[in-house]
């Protein structure tokens, strides 16, 4: 941090986080996640079949990974800012596209672009906020920013619940597009801009190469984060089916989505508060342990109350893991925080891609979800061990407590 950096006021910090939350609500809550609570009405009214629904869901993820791959190679801050703002526009446009027609090709393009836009709120806004907080002498903390993801899930569920009895599938998509258009200016203006490229970087040379210790840290920590992604995907994909198979399938999908969103929003706030006293690594390891415990709660026949407690614990722990891990990566390599976050996200995405087919295969072979979900719990525990082995870092700050207040 330079001696000439001006210290941000509380009001400036709140406005910056408000912009990040708006970016999450738009690019994740609306452009990416509105599809989940609207899926039943699209199947009932627009004739969307099961295979087509699965294809659209896969395209959301394909779009997101495409953006992550782009960001892992794109270093110029001005271009990254341009991509961020393009993501905001794509989030609104892709949502509006869903209401224009019932053509599958249009929906497919919309879901791919909506997934692509998610990288703007998930990674770029986080990167810009972290860099701005460090330059402004504020505590480097992404917890408030990542509450936007859970609030976005709540928003998509609440809008669906409120409009489901009044508007059809196309009208609900149009309402989401209008809401997104209202959020766009907040995200555009309030998310801080990245710092200009340093002269050496602007001339074409990248950041200094990582040392052997940093490479080892990323290898161990990244493997643990991949395991976390596996555990998240196994639980998130099959939690409703698991509860239904146990005779706990009452209620609407939108209501469950809201509850999950509340737990997800609480996770990074709790993690942020705890990290003020213990540092980031202890909080991350605790969250990994809780994810493993919640997955075991899904797998074991412990009754209705325990199942829903496991679901809420799962929502809170997975988001705490994501927020804390990305912050650690950004602090580990501050000169290229965006690339570090993107590399970790690719590993997390690998776990997300592998878990659902393996879980489904093992569930079919074993006649239930207990074996594959216990496997996911075991992998989460193994990921905890890998992250603990990686440790915090011997190079550079990794705890918010080390930064000036």
Q: How many CB atoms lie within 10 A of CB 32?
A: 31
Residues 394 and 317 in one domain: yes
Per-residue pLDDT at 400: 47
HSE value, Cβ hemisphere, 13 Å, CA-based, for 161: 15
- Decide if 2 is inside a domain: no
Look at residues 97, 268, 91 and name the one whose alpha carbon lies nearest to residue 187. Answer: 91
- Decide if 232 is inside a domain: yes
Residues 146 and 271 in one domain: no
Residues 260 and 373 in one domain: yes
8-state DSSP, 27: I
Per-residue pLDDT at 93: 97
- Decide if 248 is inside a domain: yes
Task: Write down the residue that tokens 């079919």 correspond to.
Answer: 364
Instruction: Tell me the whole-structure pTM to 2 decimals.
Output: 0.75
- Decide if 202 is inside a domain: no
Task: Write down the residue that tokens 């602007």 correspond to.
Answer: 202
- Decide if 220 is inside a domain: yes
In whole angstroms, what is the distance from residue 297 CA to residue 373 CA? Answer: 9
Per-residue pLDDT at 306: 72
Nearby residues of 399 by Cβ (< 8 Å), 6 or more positions away:
275, 279, 280, 281, 392
Q: Tens-of-pLDDT digits for all 405 residues of the chain?
A: 343 346 778 888 889 999 999 999 999 889 988 887 887 788 888 888 867 877 787 788 788 888 988 888 888 889 999 999 999 999 999 999 999 988 999 999 999 999 899 888 888 998 899 889 888 877 777 778 888 888 887 887 788 778 766 888 899 999 999 999 999 999 999 999 988 866 654 444 455 455 666 788 889 999 999 999 999 888 876 666 666 565 554 444 456 667 777 888 888 888 888 888 888 899 999 999 999 998 988 777 666 667 777 878 888 898 899 889 988 888 887 777 777 888 888 898 888 878 878 887 888 788 878 888 899 999 999 999 999 998 754 334 444 444 433
Per-residue pLDDT at 262: 84
Domain end among 134, 165, 195: 195
Domain end among 163, 195, 227: 195
- Decide if 257 is inside a domain: yes
Q: What angle do CA 373, 56, 108 make, to 5 degrees?
A: 160
Look at residues 40, 105, 17 and name the one whose alpha carbon lies nearest to residue 254. Answer: 40
Full residue range of the structural domain in which residue 163 is found: 12-195
- Decide if 155 is inside a domain: yes
Nearby residues of 132 by Cβ (< 8 Å), 6 or more positions away:
8, 16, 192
- Residue 29: alpha-carbon gap to chain centroid: 10
- Pair of tokens at residue 405: 């207040």
Per-residue pLDDT at 135: 85
HSE value, Cβ hemisphere, 13 Å, CA-based, for 352: 19
Q: For helices 77-97 and 50-73, what crossing angle results, to 10°?
A: 170
Per-residue pLDDT at 254: 54
Reported for 204-209, long-range contacts at CB under 8 A and 24+ positions apart, including other chains, are 206/75, 206/336, 207/75, 207/333, 207/335, 207/336, 207/339, 208/335
Residues 129 and 217 in one domain: no
Residues 139 and 233 in one domain: no
The CATH number assigned to the domain holding 168 equals 1.20.1250.20
Q: How many domains does the chain have?
A: 2
Helix, strand, or coil (residue 255): helix
- Pair of tokens at residue 77: 């801050």
- Decide if 347 is inside a domain: yes
- Residue 349: alpha-carbon gap to chain centroid: 10
Residues 95 and 185 in one domain: yes
Domain end among 170, 195, 220: 195
In terms of phi and psi (left: phi > 0; alpha: psi -120 to 50; beta: otherwise), the region of 191 is beta
8-state DSSP, 250: -
Residues 146 and 222 in one domain: no
Q: Are 258 and 161 in contact (CB under 8 A)?
A: yes
DSSP 175-213: HHHHHHHHHHHHHHHHSPPPPPPPHHHHTT--SPPPPHH
């Amino acid at each position: 941090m330079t001696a000439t950096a001006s210290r941000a006021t509380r009001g400036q910090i709140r406005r910056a986080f408000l912009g990040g939350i708006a970016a999450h609500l738009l690019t994740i809550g609306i452009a990416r996640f509105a599809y989940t609570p609207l899926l039943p009405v699209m199947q009932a009214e627009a004739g969307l079949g099961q295979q087509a629904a699965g294809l659209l869901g896969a395209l959301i993820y394909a779009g997101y990974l495409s953006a992550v791959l782009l960001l892992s190679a794109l270093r110029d801050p001005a271009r990254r800012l341009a991509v961020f703002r393009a993501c905001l526009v794509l989030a609104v446009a892709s949502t509006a596209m869903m209401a224009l027609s019932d053509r599958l090709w249009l929906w497919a393009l919309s879901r791919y672009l909506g997934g692509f836009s998610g990288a703007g709120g998930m990674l770029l806004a986080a990167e810009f906020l972290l860099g701005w907080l460090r330059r402004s002498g504020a505590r480097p903390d992404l917890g408030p920013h990542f509450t936007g993801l859970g609030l976005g899930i709540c928003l998509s569920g609440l809008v669906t619940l409120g409009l489901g009895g009044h508007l059809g599938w196309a009208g609900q998509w149009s309402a989401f597009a209008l809401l997104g258009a209202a959020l766009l200016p907040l995200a555009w203006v309030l998310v801080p801009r990245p710092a200009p490229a340093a002269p050496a970087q602007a001339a074409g040379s990248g950041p200094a190469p990582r040392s052997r210790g940093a490479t080892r840290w990323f290898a161990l920590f990244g493997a643990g984060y991949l395991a976390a992604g596996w555990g998240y995907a196994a639980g998130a994909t099959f939690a409703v089916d698991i509860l239904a198979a146990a005779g706990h399938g009452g209620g609407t999908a939108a209501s469950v989505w809201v509850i999950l969103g509340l737990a997800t929003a609480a996770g990074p706030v709790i993690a942020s508060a705890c990290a003020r006293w213990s540092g980031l690594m202890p909080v991350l390891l605790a969250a990994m342990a809780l994810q493993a415990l919640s997955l075991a709660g899904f797998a074991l026949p412990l009754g209705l109350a325990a199942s829903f407690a496991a679901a809420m614990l799962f929502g809170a722990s997975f988001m705490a893991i994501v927020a804390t891990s990305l912050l650690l990566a950004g602090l580990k390599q501050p000169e290229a925080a965006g690339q570090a976050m993107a590399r970790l996200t690719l590993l997390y995405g690998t776990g997300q891609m592998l878990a659902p087919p393996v879980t489904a295969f093992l569930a079919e072979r074993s006649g239930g979800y207990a074996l594959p979900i216990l496997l996911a719990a075991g992998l989460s525990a193994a990921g905890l061990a890998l992250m603990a082995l990686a440790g915090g870092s011997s190079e550079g700050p990794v705890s918010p407590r080390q930064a000036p207040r």
